[in-house]
Structure 1
Amino acid sequence: MAINSTLTILGEEVLPGESKTITMEIARLHTMTKLKIPIIVERSKIPGPTILFSAGLHGDEINGIEIVRQTIVRKLNKPKRGTIICIPVINIFGFVNQSREFPDGRDLNRVFPGSKKGSLASRFAYYILEEVIPNVDYCIDFHAGGASRFNAPQIRIVPNNAELKELSDVFNAPFTLYSKHIPGSFRSACDKMGVKMLLFEGGKSLDINHDITHEGIQGIKRFLQHFDMLNPHKKGPVANNDTVYIDKSSWVRARHSGLFQSKIKAGDFVHKGEVIAVITDPFGKFEHKVKAPNGGYIINANDGAIVYQGDAIFHLSQSYQF
């Protein structure tokens, strides 16, 4: 967008220097209750880029919602220059139901670019791309692991993209994973529209973790400071992490069903052959050790107490660099 132009979302204009909360209403519950999605816009009078902080694309990924909420509460979204848009909860339906999906059973992060006359999830995807994204230069979308799987704080970007690599360096999460775009994803759609997106993963669904929230907030501070948008009255970001760049990774899966007892946590480094978990039966008949197939970093760990044969229990890096 033009760096000092009028910003328009859903027919509402926001001038430089203005603050406004724009309500997105696309559909209602079957009870006829309106569900409103607040789009919180803060603009400086000084020209600059427009950054979107979004979360809750999956309604049960609450930790991302908390990161964007704290961004607002701490007034980090009041920029020194440029514009900051915050959407703490995109999938308000899933958030109400503490569910990943929309009421139509669809995963919102698989239906982009959507359709004006399609399914409920498809319509939401359409209006986000039609009304919000054309105004945006950069986006950080916050996610968490699902199904009791805890993600170490990480940024995900496509490989061989120098600009995204630079932005990931700026955010400086403990881990950066190179991963290709998934068809139908928000990240893929934004890329096609020229918006530079970082996807943050951290924590697990239906959970708020202080350390994950802290990493997200500090990354936001560094990101805003990079563009000279960080409010000068706010405390600067903490010292940078030693980021680990992961080129290749694989899932370690359970070979047996049973009670699951992990010996390590997400973010740990493990050595080849190290016992990283034990799977037992409830009757004292067997005890199977799970050993690391290679040395590397645990970037996702299953927190469940019970696993079934074939369940993903650890996401382990195979190739990494500093």
Structure 2
Amino acid sequence: MKKNKVIELLGESILPGTSKTIEVEIAKLHTMTKLKIPVIIERSKIDGPTVLFSACLHGDEINGTEIVRQIIRKKINKPSRGTIICIPIINIFGFINQTREFPDKRDLNRVFPGSKNGSLASRFAHFLVTEIIPNVDYAIDFHAGGASRFNAPQIRIVPNNLELKELAAVFNSPFTLYSKNIQGSFRNACTKLGVKMLLFEGGKSLDLNDMITEDGVQGSKRFLKHLNMLNPDVESFKKEQETIFIEKSNWIRSNFSGIFHGLINIGSYVKKGEVLAMISDPFGKVEHKLKAPNDGYVINVNDAPIVYQGDAVFHISTKLENQN
């Protein structure tokens, strides 16, 4: 754990017991308009760990921004000990344009650790890795599903890491998925620098969902309580059913093109052979049933009204932890 020393960020000092918002400018718009990204830092006078809450690594995943916004608004980010850093919007360029990528068309979550003299996305990744992450002990990075696919609230962690498993159980989203780090991802870069990160997935891009937001906020409070950092003035968190650990899962793809009629709610447990959706032609002549290939929990559902053959439309668990 980093000691409660002075945090130096972009030439500014943040002492224990102080609050500061630092405006980070990586690059201007092509109109020469400055874009500044607020990094919101709250420090207790009491020594403790540093936690980062970050969102909108992909500019269209705005539900994560709402979660971090509520963490700030409800003063959950004012720790009883240690330090909490909040970055509600990482990819400000994508957020403005409501797109996933940076203006250079690169996915920020594939260019870490970045380069000081690289592409725009690479430069920002370099800033996060060199300026922010060295100060951090724990991180929760909030994401959402893309391409009209809605994720059930879930935490993703690497397998065979008992400490991350414990933290995922503490956060206690409905599901926890084991997934390996992807080369070039923020999570992978944090892992290499010794930061313990939980990746939260919930909802879909360009959408706000109260259930997803509530799960993210409540889980963050449980996480801080576990670290003895939760401000006693914050209202108590809700106790939920224990998270379900999923070892393996698989995408179900559409066998036909047509109008998609989903019949299953997100998070449902389905049995093999159960009808998940109907795919029809627009002219009232053809309907095709899409059935579950196995028993499992539905952790992602398609929200698009039109699908093409081969489109991923449901994500379903195939093996739960301790399941034969």
Same fold, judged at TM 0.5 (above): yes
Match of 2:201 in 1: 201
Match of 1:278 in 2: 278
Following the alignment from structure 2 to structure 1, what is the Cα–Cα distance between the partners of residues 239 and 190?
A: 30
Q: Secondary structure at the match of 1:239?
A: coil
C-alpha distance after superposition, 1:281-311 (max 9, x if no partner): 0011210000000010001001000000000
Structure 1 residue 236, shift from structure 2 partner: 1.5
Q: How does 1:102-251 map to 2 (within 5 A)?
A: 102-251=102-251
Contact 2:2–2:136 (8 Å) recurs in 1:
no
Structure 1 residue 235, shift from structure 2 partner: 1.2
Coordinate RMSD, CA, aligned: 0.8
Contact 2:258–2:306 (8 Å) recurs in 1:
yes
Gaps of 5+ in 1: none
Following the alignment from structure 1 to structure 2, what is the Cα–Cα distance between the partners of residues 267 and 3?
A: 41
C-alpha distance after superposition, 1:166-206 (max 9, x if no partner): 11111011000000000000000000000000000000000
C-alpha distance after superposition, 1:141-183 (max 9, x if no partner): 0000001000000000000001110111110110000000000
Match of 1:305, as an amino acid?
P
Q: How does 1:32-111 map to 2 (within 5 A)?
A: 32-111=32-111
- TM-score normalised according to structure 1 size: 0.99
- TM-score normalised according to structure 2 size: 0.98
Match of 2:263 in 1: 263
Structure 1 residue 9, shift from structure 2 partner: 1.1
Following the alignment from structure 2 to structure 1, what is the Cα–Cα distance between the partners of residues 241 and 147?
A: 28
Following the alignment from structure 2 to structure 1, what is the Cα–Cα distance between the partners of residues 85 and 183?
A: 25
C-alpha distance after superposition, 1:27-61 (max 9, x if no partner): 01101011100000000000000000000000000
Q: Secondary structure at the match of 1:106?
A: coil
Structure 1 residue 130, shift from structure 2 partner: 0.5
Following the alignment from structure 1 to structure 2, what is the Cα–Cα distance between the partners of residues 149 and 138?
A: 28
Match of 1:9 in 2: 9
Gaps of 5+ in 2: none
- Paired residue total: 322
Structure 1 residue 237, shift from structure 2 partner: 1.1
Between the two proteins, what is the percent identity of the paired residues? 69
Q: How does 1:285-304 map to 2 (within 5 A)?
A: 285-304=285-304
Runs in 1 of length 4+ with deviation above 6 angstroms? Answer: none
Match of 1:210, as an amino acid?
D
Following the alignment from structure 2 to structure 1, what is the Cα–Cα distance between the partners of residues 188 and 313?
A: 27
